[in-house]
Amino acid sequence: DLGVTAALAFLWLVASCAWAAALADVKAATSPAGVLAQVGGCQRPGTRCRGLESPHLSGLNTSVVFGFLNLVLWTGNIWFVFKETGWGG
């Protein structure tokens, strides 16, 4: 049980870090400046393009925070599983 719990906690750490890195890439790709730089019509001389509003990413930010909070629960669970093995004292 201890090995499986530790492995799952480690996988949760990797998944949370990967999701946070992917979210950083999503933020960079969907920023108004980044989108306007990729639109071909905005590159012509005399053309003025502007972004109307920024994307709302608060739900995605919240999911990353809860992913890392869940990691805290998994690592706390390792302690309780360790205490149940009998190795802890």
Query: Tokens for 15?
Result: 């998944």
Q: pTM of the predicted model, to two decimals?
A: 0.77
Over the stretch 37-67, which tens digit does the pLDDT of each residue have? 888 888 888 888 888 888 889 999 999 999 9
Over the stretch 23-34, which tens digit does the pLDDT of each residue have? 999 998 888 888
* Nearest CA among 47, 22, 21, 52 for reference residue 35: 52
- The 3-state DSSP class for residue 66 equals helix
* Nearest CA among 86, 71, 85 for reference residue 17: 71
